[in-house]
Amino acid sequence: RKEVEQDPGPFNVPEGATVAFNCTYSNSASQSFFWYRQDCRKEPKLLMSVYSSGNEDGRFTAQLNRASQYISLLIRDSKLSDSATYLCVVNVAGPLVFGKGTRLSVIA
């Protein structure tokens, strides 16, 4: 079983739609959780950290379920500029471990 698993997509959604991505991780000792965004041929950049209580940043909401070892990202009112690959990232007191990413295309 891979350490961090994500549905690769692609998710093709119209502008204004709400879309949700899920991610599961295998190591119960994982300590920190993140969502990164990666545009085509660019480096990954932090979208948001994921806290146990859940957190929201504008149109983006992240949730963590430690019991199920599950992380989610919800994007509301999708914009064309949200088109990218979203990487689920987990830290176990060492290197960050990345999922393969979920590709999102927002269509006009």
Partner 1 sequence: DTGVSQDPRHKITKRGQNVTFRCDPISEHNRLYWYRQTLGQGPEFLTYFQNEAQLEKSRLLSDRFSAERPKGSFSTLEIQRTEQGDSAMYLCASSLVPIMNTEAFFGQGTRLTVV
Residues in contact with partner 1 by the rule CB under 8 A: 4, 8, 31-32, 34, 42-46, 49, 51, 87, 94-101
Contact between 13 and 106 under an 8 Å Cβ cutoff? The reply is: yes
Which one, 27 or 32, has the nearer CB to partner 1? 32
Which one, 33 or 82, has the nearer CB to partner 1? 33
Rounded to the nearest 10°, the torsion over CA 12, 36, 69, 103 is: 20
At its nearest, how many Å lie between partner 1 and the CB of residue 22? 15
Which one, 5 or 72, has the nearer CB to partner 1? 5
Which one, 2 or 18, has the nearer CB to partner 1? 2
**Residue 26 CA: distances (Å) to CA of 4, 6, 56, 81:** 7, 12, 25, 31
At its nearest, how many Å lie between partner 1 and the CB of residue 98? 4
